[in-house]
Amino acid sequence: MAMDEPLVMGIETSCDETGIGIVRGTTLLADEVASSVAEHARFGGVVPEIASRAHLEALLPAVTRACERAGVALSDLDAISVTAGPGLAGALLVGTSAAQGLAWSMGVPIYGVNHLAAHVAVDRLEHGPLPQPAIALLVSGGHTSLLRVDDVTADVTPLGATLDDAAGEAFDKVARLLGLPFPGGPHVDRVARQGDPNAIAFPRGLTAGKDQPRHAHNFSFSGLKTAVARWIDQRRAAGEDIDTADVAASFQEAVVDVLTAKAIAAAKGSGIDHLLIGGGVAANSRLRAMAQQRCDAAGIELRIPRPDLCTDNGAMVAALGAAMVTAGVPASGLDIAADSSAPVTEVTVG
């Protein structure tokens, strides 16, 4: 049965952040996040086994904190929503197993939801009901995708995606080249503010005329990463100084230029005047600024959640679950299985 203001807990364990969110309808009551990023930093990337063990340790304390912050008891919940894919298989299993146990013990429905669709749904918590249809640009360490969203609970159509490195992955790799800490995105963003974005003409992947027929909505950042590495190697071989800020700013500008240009083109080509940007890279200050500037010029309404809702969190999972309850979408059932490669077209996983 559909409800207007369901109380829903969301559980997010797809990668290295354990997120527990509680929402009532479109009102965020609690958003607890326990990150294991510090445990991965010395490896320069996320180690799946470490992430899974960290989720095991952090999940139940995060549930307790979220309930205390929201002022609710587990018995008050109307439903449990959990990320069932895509993501790291072991990490997903921790979350889905916990959700199954909680849902069974309380006798409430469980929704296994898609991580990418949840990044779209979270904007409901800040800016209200989602426009239908909308173009969504999802940018993170594992995904860079353009989507047409007619109904975030049931109808999401992929328009394009990265053919190699995701944008966030490229940020991490370039940060490593520049000697910046992991994760690289925030550090590149910080350093780039002191640099000249036009200092170095780095390439814009899949933007040439010959690429448009097949790859108008696709992305490629591997060549850009390689171009940065070669530029640095050449300068070092010649004994020249490297201005880290200029490299960071020029690299960032290349990424953001491509992301925003393709997103605007997708909206215009689809006749849709709403663009939503989500995912961890959506917290990048230059992406937010350029997207706003280009959307204003194109007459497109831009929606980007505040930075703390862009990174992985339980609030986004709860937001999508609440939307499904409100819309009367059938629950997943206690036999849901995690799907590490779930396509975005499967908004309800399992």
| Structure-token match 């008891």, residue found | 73
How many CB atoms lie under 10 A from the CB of residue 271?
Answer: 7
Confidence of residue 2 (pLDDT cuts 50, 70, 90): low
pTM for this entry: 0.95
Q: Which of 168, 139, 137 is nearest to 46 (CA)?
A: 168
How much is the pLDDT for 173? 96
Provide mean pLDDT across the span 15-27. Answer: 96
How much is the pLDDT for 319? 98
Residue 234 has pLDDT above 60, yes or no: yes
The one-character DSSP state at 276 is: E
Residue 1 has pLDDT above 60, yes or no: no
Q: What percent of the chain is modeled with pLDDT above 70?
A: 99
Q: Among positive and negative, which fits the CA dihedral 227, 231, 234, 236?
A: negative
What angle is formed at CA 48 by the lines to CA 18 and CA 80, rounded to 5 degrees? 35
For residue 212, the surrounding DSSP H or E stretch is: helix 212-215
- For domain 7-122+313-327, which CATH number applies: 1.20.1730.10, 3.30.70.890, 1.20.1070.10, 3.30.420.40? 3.30.420.40
Confidence of residue 350 (pLDDT cuts 50, 70, 90): low
| pLDDT tens for each residue of 49-73 | 999 999 999 999 999 999 999 999 9
Residue 340 has pLDDT above 70, yes or no: yes
Same fold, 7-122+313-327 and 134-306: yes
Q: Are 291 and 263 in contact (CB under 8 A)?
A: yes
CATH class of 134-306: alpha beta
Residue 163 has pLDDT above 50, yes or no: yes
| pLDDT tens for each residue of 83-121 | 999 999 999 999 999 999 999 999 999 999 999 999 999
The one-character DSSP state at 344 is: T
Provide mean pLDDT across the span 306-321. Answer: 97
- Partners of residue 156 on adjacent β-strands: 149
The one-character DSSP state at 300 is: -
Residue 148 has pLDDT above 90, yes or no: yes
Q: Please give the C-alpha separations between residue 297 and each of 19, 172, 189, 288, in angstroms, as whole numbers.
A: 36, 31, 24, 14
Strands in 301-303's sheet, in edge-to-edge order, are: 155-161, 144-151, 134-139, 274-278, 301-303
Provide mean pLDDT across the span 214-233. Answer: 97
Provide mean pLDDT across the span 236-263. Answer: 97
- DSSP for 91-157? HHHHHHHHHHHHHHHHT--EEEEEHHHHHHHTTHHHH-SPPSSEEEEEESSS-EEEEEEEETTTEEE
Domain ranges of the chain: 7-122+313-327, 134-306
Mean pLDDT rounded to a whole number for the chain: 95
